[in-house]
Structure 1
Amino acid sequence: MAVFDPSFFNLGEKSGKRGSADLCAYFFLHAKQLLNSNGGFGLIATNTIGQGDTREVGLDQLIADGGVITRAVPSRKWAGIASLEVAYVWLRQDNWLGEFVLDDKVVDGITAFLTNPGKALGNPYKLIANQNKSFQGSNILGLGFTMTDEEAQALIEKDAKNKDVLFPYLNGEDLNSSQTQSPSRWVINFQDYPLDAEHDDLKKPKGKPYASDYPDCLEIVREKVKPERDKNNYSKSAREKWWLYERSRPELYNAIANLKRVLVLSIVNNHLGFAFASENIVFAHRLAVFPFDNYAVFTLLQCNFHYQWAWEYSSTLRKDINYSPSDCFQTFPFPASTAKLEEIGDRYYNHRQNIMQTRQEGLTKTYNRFHNPDETAADIQQLRELHIEMDNAVAAAYGWQDLLPSPSGRGAGGEGLSHGFHQTKQGLRFTISETARREVLDRLLELNHQRYAEEVAQGLHDKSKKKGKSGGKKKAQAESKKQDNDNGQMSLF
């Protein structure tokens, strides 16, 4: 009888590849170890096998070690009762002279992303120019911290001091379903306050409060949060510091402290709708937050260029994107010039806001209309026209004039972006054509590699340099600032 060897969970780390990979990646790695030369296997996995960390730990390594994916189905609904998407992957060791079949179609080859290879090869790199410009919201770890608006106002009326630790709390449901993207609840936030003088091991700075200075709010947390922290298998820190969030994300709130609004995205969503939100709130952990208050960055993140990039390099949850700022934003190569993106972003954003206010619908329902070919209302048609104008402005910002429409209605290089209703992996979408999508992704990947090479040449990715010393940190900041100038991104960031 075969004995299961748990050591294969270390297969991903043996080659230096680490990440939050799905379990299926390790079965692929283990199966590869069992192959003889010219041997092969076929496995069914969750559709994340070709996405994010799971791809990096699994299929990326297999291909680097001589594996060839000969046939694949990237995503298909599981035939059983479970609601999930699965992938089918056939892999052969060493040479393959037969056909490559992707989604039942003969193609030139199959990548670790379970896609047809483009002109540019390889994975995108994280760019220093994009560091510290995307964050995940706070993981409060306890719904007992939250309350209704009425409950929060009652606490403030009881003692005005309570307002110091009470904040509006924005989550993904608010962002996607509310026509105003405004928080529907409030939350108690003691930031990093010690519990009281008896538990103040670090001796708080002069003027910094204790959580016990707000007895009304502390009692709520003691009754509603502490019991859950005590009985569940949380970390030692979460149990001992029950009045604090598990992840408060001070780096996020420091980054947005001087802004009146910031860009926010629900990490799990279907339409990738970015929106502005007030900075003086607590953001839930399933939100990605970007410390920008201008329409130029909104244009770049909402346009089809970043939309296609995000779907290509993020993982998914069923049919929804599971947006990863590290994989999507930190790798995204922004254009050198953004001067003409502010105006179109302003018009697009405010027209979208007017639609939501008039119809009393949120982002999800608005984009459901946007992508529905049977929806012919004038306001939605105008939003589509603005989206086309936005994409064209971004293409011009990159200097890709051949992707712009010509007087004859075609781009100088052929079809241009060819906006319209196209079938995609996400279903029918009003977007750019498949040919344009692959061209845009190829160009963005080439630009990412170019920017990364420039940063490497400047020593910005030299891991041998000592970290933590103030001199080194200041030098790195200066080099990063210089890199922004060299890349023409200073006006953007």
Structure 2
Amino acid sequence: MIDEIKLSNFIDYASKLNGYEKGEAHLFLDRLFIAFGNRGVQEAGASLEFQIKIKGKTKFCDLIWPGKVLIEMKKRGENLEKHFTQAKSYWDNSYDKRTEYVVLCNFDEFWVYNWNLQRDPLDKIPIAKLPEMWRSLAFLCPEKVEPIFGNNLVEVTKEAADQIAKLYNSLVNRNIEREQAQRFTLQCLVALFAEDTGLFPEKGFFYNIIDDCIKGQSSYDLFTLLFERMNSKEPATGGRFKGVKYFDGGIFNKINPIELTPSELDLLSDTSKYNWSKVQPSIFGSIFEDSLGKEERHATGAHYTSESDIMRIVEPTVLRPWRERIAGANTLTELNEIASELSEFKVLDPACGSGNFLYISFRELKSLELQLFQKILEKFSSAKPERLRSGIKGSQFYGIDINPLGVELAKITLSMAKKFSADEFNLFTRQYRFFDDVEEPLPFDNLDNNLLVDDALFIDWPKADVIIGNPPFQSKNKMQEEFGPEYVNRVRERFSDVPGRSDYCVYWFRKAHDVLPEGGRAGLVGTNTIRQTNSRVGGLDYILSNDGTIVEAVSTMPWSGEAVVHVSIVNWIKGGKAPKGKRRLAFQYGERKDGPWEVHDLPFIPSSLSPLTDVTGAKILATNKNSGACYQGQTHGHKGFLLTFRERDELIRREPEAEEVTFPYLNADEMLGTVDSQPSRYVVDFQPRDIFSAKKYKNTFEIIERTALPARQYAYNEEKERNEAARANNPKARINRHHEMFYRHWWQLSYGRGELILKLSNINRYIACGQVTKRPIFQFISTCIRPNAALIVFPLDDDYSFGILQSTLHWEWFKARCSTLKGDYRYTSNTVFDSFPWPQWGTLPLDDSDGMEARLRKSPVKIALKVAKAARELRALRNKIRAENNFSLRELYRTLELPGDNPLRTAHKRLDDTVWEAYYYGLPKSMHKKDELEFLLQLNELCARAEDSGDEIIGPGLPSFCKDEDYFFSEDCIIFTRKL
């Protein structure tokens, strides 16, 4: 594992250094890497003096080993705690080189951090103890060796939360009322925390009470007496509970005695053996709730959130403005004013859950306050230490949540924050040799009026300087299912000017901006569709058009914890006080938290959260919208409509005429992900037949009657009950008739796309792409195959149209205008296709002053033929490579993500060149040589203006001047090769 001789040699070498940061840090680090089995720093792939951009300025961290560790060196004897913020800033801004671990070192000691897990060091390793503690730095080894840490708070927190949750579950399982069980469990939780943080008169105080109950004394009596003492302002002057201080905080204002069973006492005894001073409050509440069952958690849209993700909001929205003010303050008066203002600063989380965001804001503001005091003491000798009293209080923090348990946990979380912050402040006072223990952690702040149980969308929010949080993640499609039509109607009526198809979180963005004061800031997490379509219009468009400025954002990233969801993070300011300078916009790609980052420093962040030309304002073109050239495939709606090959064969043997109503049924995964791109199922499609005509296919009809009809009847009845309940409360409530429609036509597919199927009956092949995709892959499919809803279908059969749709121009428009699903792009006709301008071939009424007439002499047919030819050649090459290598289309296109020569890349470039030539035809030179989105947006504007003036534009499909040319049509496509 580790060479002890090399390690010993390193320790001996380090002891002889003077510990100068500038002159010896690189030598020290190189020897450290050698001690752990590497040939050296550079040989391992790490970099010294690595450049990191922070707010437009270049900084240098001592070492970065991408994906593994960032190391920042300080001189010997330096207090490493003072350099936490600097190292954290380097790590925050390293993005695509982001490391799992960060190490602060002063030549004598290593402090190891993992800020994806916790703020506190995972371990502190004196160099002299490296032989026995080397596993804490095992990530330095060239081979993979799992590190072992002595202070992993996450693991302790998970185990402790699970244990205390078991007590709650046990109480509920023996029919104790949930509210009573909840309060008793949380009171025990506070006692456990008090035990290990020195808030009880002596060590083992609570454990001894548990032990006495196990030995026969009454838990009904002893726990009740303890909790009453913790709620009493008058301390006991004698007896067992002498010295128990007043806790308050609201959690002990109601005490319900409970007699615990022997197994519950044993459980509590085991729970007390954890070191509760090591529990991480920022994640405890979420993990505790998770231990109570996932179903309830999903119903409220709550998700576990890591500290590093919370800091993406807390740092720019809550801390950075204060940090910059402190750094820029040069007089004692200025610093004292900042301290005074900090004590009045108010933070609100209107979807607070168990208080994670509020806890971290409280903790970090307290830490910032200490940095302020430190600057005062070090810079101004006239400052009087006795006047430096912490002014930040729990009562400055507000929260709202609909979940009562979450709110009670938030109160306890902030109480824990008060204790930990008091300890940190008192340590600070002792270091600077003024008043010892000037801040008392007890009593806890009573936050009953700060943390409210309610629906934030329907109450007035407390006034606050900043609003932060992680609102519920329900999409527009899930809201009806999760909340029912009555609630959805209430929300839409309350926010009538928000588009009805907006995601649920958009209402929080909207309300947050409305209630912010002038100069107020907000930082919220949203589904990554907040930057798209209706959600963008209802939220970010509204914010920017109402005096809001986005100062920092993450366009998309996978979110913490178990939820498979991609989010956007937006930090903005309301009013004219937005700071000058660049705005940072980041992207993280892939499904994993360690995926690659892309970072842009921009003068302005648009509502699309994109560094590219903002095309959110592109116009819908009536020519496209009315063309009938883009559809989603068929939605079967119930598995009863699907037949395996075997089931269909048996059906045909019994009922040969069933061949008229059963069809091969292709989905996107089959088209893209299988070697032969073949359907694996048939679909029963009776359209356009009414119930009488459908019933003539007796055996086929019976299959649907037996499988789909009961399910549709059940769904309809449930919908009817919800609608009746909604109308009972509000006769004008909008109701959902979704399942009623399916029930009325139960023998038909949910969405049979009759208009599309009619169009397909007149051609031999159609173009399709995956509705949700990572890559631009379009394909021709035989019309004997029915397209599933996972495909977007273009009923166009010519090679020119294929070339335009397969081009990079169309793909860039697709990416910029589409919605997304878990980080993948989702094609929609109304956002992508209906606004996408096709080549206009000189038909637009434009100024001819720069030589367009000469260019119009070129044959448009020949240019269009070049597009068709390049499209055919591309498909032929794809088919050849796939056949030779047994590739699926998806596997083939993944090769484009690799460096090096690739004939597929060359073929795409050839197609793109011909498509550009088609687009440039008849357009002025001023529109040439622009990026794809800038060009298409300008062309979209010209086309929209022409339509507004009553002029015709050229829409999707083969232009009329090409339709007599047979060369535009070929025959290759996916055909169904299976025979009965």
Q: What TM-score, normalized by structure 1, do the two folds share?
A: 0.78
Aligned AA (1:36): P
Shift of 1:398: 1.6
- Matched-pair contact (CA < 8 Å) for 1:11–1:29: no
Give the structure 1 partner of residue 618 of structure 2: 124
- Matched-pair contact (CA < 8 Å) for 2:623–2:955: no
- Matched-pair contact (CA < 8 Å) for 1:296–1:492: no
Give the structure 2 partner of residue 112 of structure 1: 607
* Residue 484, structure 1, aligned to residue 962, structure 2: no
Shift of 1:65: 2.3
In 2, Cα distance between the equivalents of 1:329 and 1:368?
Answer: 25
From 695, 704, 719, the counterpart of 1:221: 704
Q: Could you say if the C-alpha distance between residues 62 and 117 of structure 1 is closer, same or farther in structure 2, counting changes exceeding 3 Å?
A: farther
Shift of 1:12: 5.7
In 1, Cα distance between the equivalents of 2:806 and 2:889?
Answer: 12
Range that drifts further, 69-78 or 384-393: 69-78
Shift of 1:489: 4.5
Q: Could you say if the C-alpha distance between residues 33 and 147 of structure 1 is closer, same or farther in structure 2, counting changes exceeding 3 Å?
A: same
- Matched-pair contact (CA < 8 Å) for 2:662–2:683: yes
From 371, 388, 399, the counterpart of 2:920: 399
From 897, 906, 925, the counterpart of 1:385: 906
**Residue deviations 1:333-360 (CA, integer Å, cap 9, x gap):** 1112434210000000121122223323
In 2, Cα distance between the equivalents of 1:490 and 1:447?
Answer: 20
Aligned AA (1:336): Q
Range that drifts further, 137-146 or 101-110: 101-110
From 542, 548, 551, the counterpart of 1:67: 548
**Residue deviations 1:176-230 (CA, integer Å, cap 9, x gap):** 123343322111111132223xxxxxxxxxxxxx111000101111222222223
Give the structure 2 partner of residue 243 of structure 1: 747
From 638, 646, 651, the counterpart of 1:155: 651
In 2, Cα distance between the equivalents of 1:173 and 1:485?
Answer: 30
Aligned AA (1:176): L
Give the structure 2 partner of residue 140 of structure 1: 636
In 1, Cα distance between the equivalents of 2:956 and 2:527?
Answer: 42
Shift of 1:166: 1.1
Shift of 1:399: 1.5
Give the structure 1 partner of residue 570 of structure 2: 89
- Matched-pair contact (CA < 8 Å) for 2:557–2:823: no
In 1, Cα distance between the equivalents of 2:898 and 2:922?
Answer: 29
Give the structure 2 partner of residue 231 of structure 1: 714
In 2, Cα distance between the equivalents of 1:312 and 1:486?
Answer: 19
Shift of 1:150: 3.3
Give the structure 2 partner of residue 441 of structure 1: 933
**Residue deviations 1:107-128 (CA, integer Å, cap 9, x gap):** 110100012364x775111112
Give the structure 1 partner of residue 820 of structure 2: 316
**Residue deviations 1:119-139 (CA, integer Å, cap 9, x gap):** x77511111221221011111
Q: Could you say if the C-alpha distance between residues 19 and 130 of structure 1 is closer, same or farther in structure 2, counting changes exceeding 3 Å?
A: farther
From 829, 835, 838, the counterpart of 1:325: 829
Range that drifts further, 57-66 or 230-239: 230-239
In 2, Cα distance between the equivalents of 1:150 and 1:441?
Answer: 49
Shift of 1:140: 1.2
Three-state SS of the structure 1 residue aligned to 2:711 is helix
**Residue deviations 1:439-491 (CA, integer Å, cap 9, x gap):** 21111111111111111121xxxxxxxxxxxxxxxxxxxx8xx4338999545
Three-state SS of the structure 1 residue aligned to 2:797 is coil
Give the structure 1 partner of residue 795 of structure 2: 291
**Residue deviations 1:24-78 (CA, integer Å, cap 9, x gap):** 1111001011022332211111222212322122111222222221211111222
In 2, Cα distance between the equivalents of 1:281 and 1:488?
Answer: 23
In 1, Cα distance between the equivalents of 2:518 and 2:887?
Answer: 58
- Name structure 1 gaps, 5 residues minimum: 197-209, 405-411, 417-435, 459-478
- Matched-pair contact (CA < 8 Å) for 2:769–2:791: yes
Q: Could you say if the C-alpha distance between residues 298 and 389 of structure 1 is closer, same or farther in structure 2, counting changes exceeding 3 Å?
A: same
| Higher RCO, Cα 8 Å, sep 6+ | 1
In 1, Cα distance between the equivalents of 2:955 and 2:506?
Answer: 40
From 365, 381, 403, the counterpart of 2:891: 365
Q: Could you say if the C-alpha distance between residues 19 and 9 of structure 1 is closer, same or farther in structure 2, counting changes exceeding 3 Å?
A: closer
Aligned AA (1:175): M
Q: Could you say if the C-alpha distance between residues 350 and 487 of structure 1 is closer, same or farther in structure 2, counting changes exceeding 3 Å?
A: closer
Q: Could you say if the C-alpha distance between residues 141 and 369 of structure 1 is closer, same or farther in structure 2, counting changes exceeding 3 Å?
A: same
Q: How many residue pairs are counted as aligned between the two chains?
A: 419
* Residue 262, structure 1, aligned to residue 766, structure 2: yes
In 1, Cα distance between the equivalents of 2:573 and 2:629?
Answer: 41
In 2, Cα distance between the equivalents of 1:328 and 1:70?
Answer: 28
Give the structure 2 partner of residue 422 of structure 1: none
- Matched-pair contact (CA < 8 Å) for 1:9–1:26: no
- Matched-pair contact (CA < 8 Å) for 2:555–2:568: yes
Shift of 1:8: 5.0
In 1, Cα distance between the equivalents of 2:893 and 2:524?
Answer: 36
**Residue deviations 1:260-307 (CA, integer Å, cap 9, x gap):** 000011101211311111113322122111011111111111111111
In 2, Cα distance between the equivalents of 1:168 and 1:76?
Answer: 37
Three-state SS of the structure 1 residue aligned to 2:954 is helix
In 2, Cα distance between the equivalents of 1:398 and 1:265?
Answer: 22
Q: Show the 5 A alignment for 1:16-35.
A: 18-35=499-516
Give the structure 1 partner of residue 519 of structure 2: 38
Larger radius of gyration: 2
Three-state SS of the structure 2 residue aligned to 1:326 is coil
Shift of 1:86: 1.9
In 1, Cα distance between the equivalents of 2:769 and 2:553?
Answer: 31
- Matched-pair contact (CA < 8 Å) for 1:169–1:183: yes
In 2, Cα distance between the equivalents of 1:320 and 1:23?
Answer: 20
Q: Could you say if the C-alpha distance between residues 55 and 190 of structure 1 is closer, same or farther in structure 2, counting changes exceeding 3 Å?
A: same
Q: Show the 5 A alignment for 1:338-353.
A: 338-353=864-879
Aligned AA (1:63): L
Aligned AA (2:532): Q
Q: What TM-score, normalized by structure 2, do the two folds share?
A: 0.41
In 1, Cα distance between the equivalents of 2:933 and 2:786?
Answer: 34
Alpha carbon RMSD of aligned pairs, Å? 2.8
- Matched-pair contact (CA < 8 Å) for 2:600–2:611: no
Percent sequence identity is: 26
Q: Show the 5 A alignment for 1:268-283.
A: 268-283=772-787
Q: Could you say if the C-alpha distance between residues 447 and 61 of structure 1 is closer, same or farther in structure 2, counting changes exceeding 3 Å?
A: same
User: Relative to total residues, which structure has the larger helix share, 1 or 2?
Assistant: 2
Three-state SS of the structure 2 residue aligned to 1:385 is helix
- Name structure 2 gaps, 5 residues minimum: 1-451, 459-489, 587-598, 719-737, 842-863, 964-980
Give the structure 1 partner of residue 585 of structure 2: 102
- Matched-pair contact (CA < 8 Å) for 2:804–2:810: yes
* Residue 453, structure 1, aligned to residue 949, structure 2: no
Give the structure 2 partner of residue 420 of structure 1: none
Shift of 1:320: 1.4
Q: Could you say if the C-alpha distance between residues 192 and 184 of structure 1 is closer, same or farther in structure 2, counting changes exceeding 3 Å?
A: same
Q: Could you say if the C-alpha distance between residues 161 and 485 of structure 1 is closer, same or farther in structure 2, counting changes exceeding 3 Å?
A: closer
Aligned AA (2:783): E
- Matched-pair contact (CA < 8 Å) for 1:12–1:57: no
**Residue deviations 1:394-453 (CA, integer Å, cap 9, x gap):** 111122899x9xxxxxxx98xx7xxxxxxxxxxxxxxxxxxx7xx211111111111111
